[in-house]
Chain A
Amino acid sequence: MKAELADLMISEQEIERLSGCDVGSIFIGGVFGGVYRTSVFQDPQRLMGFCLTEVAVFLLSCVFTLPLGLVTIRNTSSNIGPNAGMVPFLVVVIGSALLLVGAWNGYMAIRRSHFQRLMHLLDEIDRYHDVIQAIAVLDQLDSASGLPANQPSSLHNRAEVLEALRLTRDSLIASLMTERILRESRGLLARRQELLASIETNLTTVRALEMKHQANEYGQFLNDALEIGMRVQREMQQML
């Protein structure tokens, strides 16, 4: 990936710094004490990861409920045989583990409303990264086809596409900051109008670029950038 595209990416560290949360592909805020992202259900690979985490948490719960089972078996087993208390042991351990997993999922379901906006913004950031990846692939195809340096690349209005992406990046960052302020303070702060105005200005510029290049084959990238920008603006308006 070229340096200019790499600079446009919003790194995981930056997202975490701006949002104030540990952000992963499946969970926000870690497995314990965090919440799962809604988008895990749209991607089979992430869904598989989520299901495996559920299994791991269940088994881990069995580990921590083992002493309960041990107490049960010590109290109930008599001289009938060495494994006489196995059934009550399993009932207590598995039952308690299921209760713990249920409580964990319930806690996440309650907490999810708190992170709903952040989840939407993170999904938009994923889409934004997909667009950058698509441009990087185009660049690779250009270099593989051996285009001379002086010949225009297949992305001949590249500067404007990159400008649109830069504006989208700024909007996303502003949204992450606003979301964090609102999430943490639960109130309206003086900067909200300024941030919203910045997003609206960026969006207008992207829309102008999109109109200019609607006819050519690169309109798609601008369209994507515009769509992300509009979603971000919608989220912001809902937040405010």
Chain B
Amino acid sequence: MNYFSTVISLLRDRNEFLEEIHNGVKLKSKISALMISSFCFFAVYGAIIGTFHSPLQAASSAIKLPALYLITLLVCLPTLYIFNVLFGAKQTITQHFTYLLTAVSVIALLLCGFAPVTLFFLITVNDYSFFLLLNVIIFTLTGILGVSFLYQIMRPVADGENGQGVKVRTSILRFWLCLYGFVGSQLGWTLRPFFGSPGQFELFRPREGSFFSGVWNALINLLS
């Protein structure tokens, strides 16, 4: 089981890791390892936030949180690939997928880094709104860091091609990152609850409103 060593090699020598993806070296192994390790990291953090409510919620969140990130990635991947290829990118869909999985694995690792902090507040604070907002901040922070990492690694480089194609692809990447955030937040809203509000366990909540209206309501609840 050397799946986690792939993530460690990503952390230790990022440039070499990215160079390997660029050259298409061992992509299958990288995809397998990144997928399994990011799933494990997300599942651990999901289980921690679900523990706020009940063990049943912990099990539910341990599946839902990896689903949120990995399904968002799969939903948005074709858009990025097709648009990039249309404007001159030479990388394959497997390379695109590996780059995106790398960024998602970084987000998963960052979340795991916050796990002790979340666990601390889980034990010491018993306020649903506070816990929800704390996690919105953590998810936003890790999301921004992950997305900026993705922007850095996927930013097109002019390898002897005309500058126009590179410019267009950079714009596509920016647009795609917004799309990724938008799809991710709405999927998160669809899959909720991740924390489980006080009361009976719910597998899913009824479809209502959107992610942004939910955050606004939580802020108002905290301040009132």
Instruction: Give chain A's interface residues, CB within 8 Å of chain B.
Output: 16, 22, 24-27, 29-34, 49, 52-53, 56-57, 59-60, 62-64, 66-67, 70, 73-74, 82-83, 85-86, 89
Contact yes or no, A33 B70, CB < 8 A: no
Known: A82-B202, A83-B201. A22 touches B29 (CB 8 A): yes
Known contacts A24-B29, A32-B31, A63-B71; A53 and B204 CB within 8 A of each other: no
Which of B60-68, B77-85, B167-175 is near enough to bind chain A? B60-68
Residue from B36, B202, B205 within 8 A of A60 (CB atoms): B36
Contact indicator A66/B67 (Cβ below 8 Å): yes
Residues of B within 8 A of A59 (CB): 39, 43, 63
B2 and A83 contacting across the interface, CB-CB below 8 Å: no
Given A31-B36, A52-B1, A86-B203, answer yes or no on A63-B70 (Cβ-Cβ < 8 Å): yes
Given contacts A25-B2, A64-B71, A73-B204, 6 further A-B contacts (CB under 8 A): A16-B26, A29-B29, A32-B35, A62-B63, A64-B70, A70-B204
Secondary structure at chain A's binding surface: helix, strand, loop or mixed? Answer: helix
Taken together as a complex, chains A and B put the C-alpha atoms of A33 and B63 apart, in Å, by: 23
Interface size on B, residues (CB 8 A): 29
- Report the number of A-B residue pairs with Cβ-Cβ less than 8 Å: 76
- In the complex, chain B residues whose CB is within 8 Å of the CB of A22: 26, 28-29
Q: Which residue in chain A gives the minimum CB-CB distance to B36?
A: A56
Q: Which chain A residues lie closer than 8 Å to B39 at the CB level?
A: 56, 59-60, 63
| Smallest CB-CB A-B distances: 8 pairs | A30-B28, A31-B32, A22-B29, A30-B29, A30-B32, A49-B1, A63-B67, A66-B67
Of chain B, the residue at the smallest CB distance from A22 is: B29
Residue of B nearest to A70 (CB): B204
A78–chain B nearest beta-carbon distance, Å = 12
Tell me, rounded to whole Å, the shortest Cβ–Cβ distance linking A222 to chain B. Answer: 33
Does B190 interact with chain A (Cβ within 8 Å)? yes
Contacts of A56 in B (CB 8 A): 36, 39-40
Q: Which of B1, B28, B40, B67 is within 8 Å of A33, CB to CB?
A: B28
Say whether B224 faces chain A, with CB atoms less than 8 Å apart: no
By beta carbon, the residue of chain A nearest B190 is A70
Residue B126 at the A interface, CB < 8 A? Answer: no
Give the contacts of B32-86 with A (CB-CB under 8 A). 32-33, 35-36, 39-40, 43, 63-64, 66-67, 70-71, 74
B56 to chain A, nearest CB (A): 10
